[in-house]
């Protein structure tokens, strides 16, 4: 059996806290965990439909005996207890539209090169698509994917928005809802790694990865995916 990656006190604390929560609010099904590498760096790329997603993202990685490191907005580090847990467990703050914005990508790259599992939601926020499909995503995911030669694993959540709908401010924990988290096969980026990194390449790689995420979500939902990504409005 593959030994569990050591995560320290705060990872153990989060596991003790979040496993019961996931059971209380959902009838969860985790699929495709064999696609999470048992060792070495990996970039886990997910859709984002609810503020509950990080709980289930963390659990699918933890069930694979790995430690998840999230790229998350830096304001969360100011929250009581949560901020301590984020800092103590080695999570990666994201500073958007500031002088520190590139530091997030450097920290993410370093984590991948050190053999860690990094989780990213490329949309940057929960989707605005009324039907819950992924939006057009930021290209930071492509920068990370090309910065380290590690597996890029798409995965999806479905059902979390039925429990917690952030935009409509609805929390419906009962009755327990079915939630599926499914990991897919790594995305082959070998054809892109020797090309000069420019805006065109970053957009192409981002859309390729997110198309895999969208198609995986279509499999989980059992319905065809839209041909284009939803674009958020300027507001």
Rounded-to-integer distance, Cα 7 and Cα 230, Å: 37
Determine the 3-state secondary structure of 166 from DSSP: coil
Residues 93-121 have pLDDT tens digits of 887 665 566 788 888 899 999 999 999 99
Residues 152-200 have pLDDT tens digits of 999 999 999 999 998 888 999 889 999 999 999 999 999 999 899 999 9
**Domains in the chain: boundaries:** 8-221
Percent with pLDDT over 70 in the chain: 94
Q: What is the pLDDT of residue 194?
A: 87
Name the CATH superfamily, with its identifier, for domain 8-221: Glycerol-3-phosphate (1)-acyltransferase (3.40.1130.10)
Q: What is the pLDDT of residue 235?
A: 47
Distances in whole angstroms, Cα of residue 203 to Cα of each of 21, 94, 109, 116: 37, 20, 18, 25
Angle, CA 189 vertex, CA 188 and CA 190 arms, to 5°: 95
- The DSSP output letter for 69 is E
Percent with pLDDT over 90 in the chain: 62
């Amino acid at each position: 059996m593959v030994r569990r990656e050591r995560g320290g006190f705060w990872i153990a604390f989060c596991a003790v806290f979040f496993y019961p929560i996931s059971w209380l609010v959902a009838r969860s099904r985790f699929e495709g965990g064999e696609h999470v590498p048992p060792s070495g760096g990996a970039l886990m790329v997910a859709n984002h439909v609810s503020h509950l997603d990080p709980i289930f993202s963390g659990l699918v990685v933890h069930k694979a005996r790995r430690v998840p490191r999230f790229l998350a907005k830096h304001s969360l580090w100011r929250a009581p207890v949560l901020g301590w847990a984020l800092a103590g467990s080695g999570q990666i703050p994201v500073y958007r539209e500031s002088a520190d914005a590139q530091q997030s990508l450097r920290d993410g790259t370093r984590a991948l090169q050190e053999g860690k599992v990094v989780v990213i939601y490329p949309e940057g926020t929960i989707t605005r698509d009324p039907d819950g499909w992924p939006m057009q995503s930021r290209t930071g995911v492509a920068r990370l994917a090309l910065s380290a030669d590690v597996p890029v694993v798409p995965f999806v959540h479905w059902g979390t928005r039925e429990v917690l709908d952030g935009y409509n401010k609805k929390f419906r924990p009962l009755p327990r809802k079915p939630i599926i988290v499914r990991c897919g096969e790594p995305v082959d980026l070998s054809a892109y790694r020797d090309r000069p990194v420019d805006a065109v390449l970053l957009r192409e790689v981002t859309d390729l990865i997110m198309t895999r995420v969208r198609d995986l979500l279509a499999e989980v939902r059992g319905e065809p995916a839209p041909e284009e990504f939803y674009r958020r409005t300027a507001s």
